[in-house]
């Protein structure tokens, strides 16, 4: 299980590393796209960071502005309180004290806000503490005068005001708050500038990246276009080569057909011309035989009268008839061979006529036709159900007939003969037929030879010219098939025939 | 039969010619046999004044001649108004059906294939002799 899990992953890894190592268009395009994607991602991240930072800066600026406002609130509340204090001291009317209380109430949250801000920023601690101290002191001074006034000691209260202590506190407070304000303003300006620069940078970077991505996209598009162009070109080339190949095959086939026809014609002419001298050899051999008989008669007459030399008697009665016998036998054999070549060439020029053939019936007919031979030999022929074929009837009959004849002819006398004809359809539009026997078999070195003209194999105890299998192979090839033999000497032979299921001729009735 | 039929034999193979003549004689045919071993000479003779003036003849023709095909001679003979009545016996080794057909189409009267087997060869010639002995050759 582990192996099965690992195998594909290691395979895909090696495929991936191959892909990376091998320079190819797919690799370049993929690289460009990955680069563009990385650039876009970088820009996105930096923009996001920029936005975050800008938001932070804006918050800080907002806070600083609030600090400024609150410091102003402290000052204003103190001024309001002072105004109320002076009014009360002048008029003694208690309604002047309400604004004082209001001012004091306003001061407290403002101060608290400032102190909170200062807690986060150490640089602000000193001024804020100063503001608290001075405003506290001023408040205390004002409360003291008010207390004196409420007790009726107005003069003493005015004296306190007049001493200028309160004014001094107030002046210092004003100064401190002005400084604080200026400091804060400068800081806001600084932060705004930094923020603007960063925003500018982001814009520029975005623009550059956008441009780069555009360039990368154009580059990939160009490469893909070029690649498609190359593929198109290659395809056209292949198509052209293909067309050329078809033409070549047609030319070759035509040339082969021509060559084949020439050979057939040649064989025909040669065998005819060979026949003419043979007519003479045979004719004059007969004439010599006639003359020999006359001489023999003369010798017999001479013998009746006197002693005849033994040499003459031997020459006339033995040597001459023997010589003539050999001449006659050889000439007859030569005639048979020439006739075989003629038959072969004539067969090669016969028009083929494809039709659907019931091969089982055909094989049974052939088996029946050799019935008396098989019966005499104690053999039997078993014809299995054979697939049909669309081919030339005469060729198929000759092929099967010849093979079955051979099987019957070369049975092994030592065991009851059994010949089996079988066959089946093969994928790809082919049919195979088998003629198997348990006869004497063929030695391996003769497996090719037996198909050659005038060649025979094994014990020469049967009549024959060595033509049958040569004819069979010739016919098999003519109808587009092939023939093979599997055999072991002393065990039996199987002849394998392979044919196209449908014989298609290049021209109707033509020669393959 | 006012005049003996003359036999014109066109045969390039002297052996064949001699065998044919021998067997014709054996069939007791004593007519004059004129032998040519070339098509050209045979044609010259056939179209000469001697033949045109004299009467009936029969042509024995081989097809494979060195200078022309026997069918050429056959064609010329059958195209001539006077000669076309002369019977033509084609005597050759060729037993190709197409060739035989062509000879009959051109007007050959008898087609005999020379068998290699001498007995049948002699038999065929003797039968031809018998045929010649009963044949009434037309006047030319």
- DSSP H helical segments within A306-358, as ranges? 310-314, 320-348
- Around Cβ A34, how many Cβ atoms within 10 Å? 11
Closest CA to A432 of A470, A474, A484: A484
CATH architecture of A352-500: 2-Layer Sandwich (3.30)
Question: Number of Cβ pairs closer than 8 Å across A and B?
Answer: 52
0.95 surpassed by complex ipTM: no
Residue A442 burial by Cβ neighbours in a 10 Å radius (0-12, 13-18, 19+): buried
Buried b or exposed e, range A109-141, using 16+ CB within 10 angstroms: ebbebbbebbeeeeebeebbebbbebbebbbeb
Domains of chain B and any CATH numbers: 6-134 (3.40.50.2300)
- Asked if the C-beta of A283 comes within 8 angstroms of chain B's C-beta atoms, the answer is yes
Beta bridge partners of A70: none
CB of A146 closer than 8 Å to CB of A99: no
Is residue B138 scored above 70 in pLDDT? no
| CB–CB contact A279 B94 (8 Å) | no
Mean pLDDT by 10 residues, chain A (512 residues): 48 76 77 86 87 86 89 90 87 84 88 88 86 89 87 85 86 90 90 86 86 88 89 92 87 82 79 82 88 91 88 89 90 84 77 90 92 88 93 91 91 89 91 93 88 81 82 87 90 92 66 43
Maximum Cα–Cα distance for chain B, whole Å? 40
Of B15, B64, B94, the CB nearest to A283: B15
Decide which of 3.30.1360.120, 1.20.120.1730, 2.60.40.1080, 1.20.59.20 is the CATH code for A20-223.
Answer: 1.20.120.1730
| CB–CB contact B93 A285 (8 Å) | no
For B77-87, the pLDDT digits (tens) are: 898 888 888 88
Model pLDDT, residue A455:
81
Residue B15 burial by Cβ neighbours in a 10 Å radius (0-12, 13-18, 19+): middle
Residue with tokens 């070029």: A226
Distance of CA A24 to the CA centre of its chain: 16
Provide the token pair at A431: 């049919």
CB of A280 closer than 8 Å to CB of B19: yes
Please count the helices (runs of H) and the strands (runs of E) in chain A: 12, 7
Contacts of B96 in chain A (CB under 8 A): 268
Contacts of B112 in chain A (CB under 8 A): none
pLDDT-above-90 percentage for chain B: 4
- Asked if the C-beta of B117 comes within 8 angstroms of chain A's C-beta atoms, the answer is yes
- Cα separations (Å) of B58 from A292, B8, B63, B68, B115? 34, 6, 16, 20, 22
Model pLDDT, residue A506:
62
Model pLDDT, residue A247:
87
């Amino acid at each position: 299980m582990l192996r099965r899990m690992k195998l594909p992953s290691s395979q895909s890894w090696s495929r991936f590393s191959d892909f990376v190592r091998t320079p190819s268009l797919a690799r370049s395009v993929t690289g460009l796209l990955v680069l563009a994607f990385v650039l876009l991602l970088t820009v996105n991240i930096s923009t996001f960071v920029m936005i975050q930072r800008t938001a932070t800066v804006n918050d800080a600026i907002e806070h600083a502005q609030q600090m400024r406002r609150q410091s102003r609130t402290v000052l204003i509340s103190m001024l309001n309180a002072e105004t109320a204090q002076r009014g009360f001291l002048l008029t003694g009317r208690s309604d002047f004290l309400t604004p004082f209380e209001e001012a004091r109430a306003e001061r407290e949250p403002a101060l608290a806000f400032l102190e909170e801000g200062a807690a986060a920023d150490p640089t602000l601690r000193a001024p804020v503490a100063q503001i608290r101290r001075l405003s506290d002191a001023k408040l205390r001074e004002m409360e003291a005068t008010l207390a004196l006034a409420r007790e009726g000691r107005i003069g003493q209260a005015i004296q306190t005001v007049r001493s200028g202590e309160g004014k001094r506190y107030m002046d210092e407070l004003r100064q401190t708050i002005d400084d604080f304000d200026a400091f804060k303003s400068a800081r806001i300006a600084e932060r705004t500038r930094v923020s603007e620069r960063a925003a500018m940078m982001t814009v520029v970077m975005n623009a550059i990246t956008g441009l780069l991505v555009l360039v990368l996209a154009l580059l990939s598009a160009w490469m893909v276009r070029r690649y498609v162009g190359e593929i198109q070109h290659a395809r056209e080339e292949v198509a052209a080569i293909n067309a050329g190949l078809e033409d070549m095959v047609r030319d070759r086939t035509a040339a082969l057909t021509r060559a084949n026809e020439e050979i057939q014609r040649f064989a025909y002419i040669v065998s005819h011309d060979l026949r003419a001298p043979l007519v003479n050899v045979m004719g004059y051999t007969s004439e010599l035989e006639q003359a020999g008989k006359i001489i023999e008669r003369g010798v017999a007459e001479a013998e009746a009268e006197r002693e005849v030399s033994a040499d003459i008697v031997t020459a006339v009665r033995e040597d001459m008839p023997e010589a003539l016998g050999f001449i006659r036998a050889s000439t007859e054999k030569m005639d048979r061979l020439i006739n075989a070549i003629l038959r072969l060439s004539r067969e090669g020029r016969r028009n083929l006529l494809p039709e659907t053939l019931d091969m089982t019936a055909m094989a049974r007919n052939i088996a029946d036709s050799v019935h008396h031979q098989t019966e005499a030999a104690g053999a039997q022929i078993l014809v299995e159900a054979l697939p049909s074929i669309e081919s030339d009837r005469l060729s198929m009959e000759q092929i099967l007939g010849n093979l079955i004849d051979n099987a019957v002819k070369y049975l092994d006398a030592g065991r009851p003969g059994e010949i089996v004809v079988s066959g089946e359809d093969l994928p790809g539009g082919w049919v195979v037929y088998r003629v198997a026997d348990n006869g004497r078999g063929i030695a391996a070195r003769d497996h090719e030879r037996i198909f050659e003209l005038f060649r025979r194999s094994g014990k020469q105890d049967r009549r024959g010219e060595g033509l049958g299998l040569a004819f069979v192979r010739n016919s098999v090839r003519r109808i587009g098939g092939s023939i093979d033999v599997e055999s072991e000497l002393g065990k039996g032979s199987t002849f394998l025939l392979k044919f196209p299921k449908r014989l298609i001729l290049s021209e109707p009735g033509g020669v393959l | 039969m006012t005049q003996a039929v003359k036999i014109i034999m066109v045969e390039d193979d002297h052996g064949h010619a001699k065998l044919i003549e021998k067997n014709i004689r054996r069939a007791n045919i004593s007519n004059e046999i004129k032998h040519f071993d070339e098509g050209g000479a045979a044609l010259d003779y056939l179209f000469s004044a001697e033949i045109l003036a004299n009467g009936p003849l029969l042509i024995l023709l081989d097809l494979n001649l060195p200078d022309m095909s026997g069918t050429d001679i056959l064609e010329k003979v059958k195209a001539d108004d006077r000669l076309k009545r002369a019977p033509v016996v084609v005597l050759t080794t060729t037993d190709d059906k197409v060739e035989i057909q062509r000879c009959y189409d051109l007007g050959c009267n008898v087609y005999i294939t020379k068998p290699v087997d001498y007995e049948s060869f002699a038999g065929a010639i003797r039968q031809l002799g018998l045929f010649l002995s009963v044949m009434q050759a037309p006047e030319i």
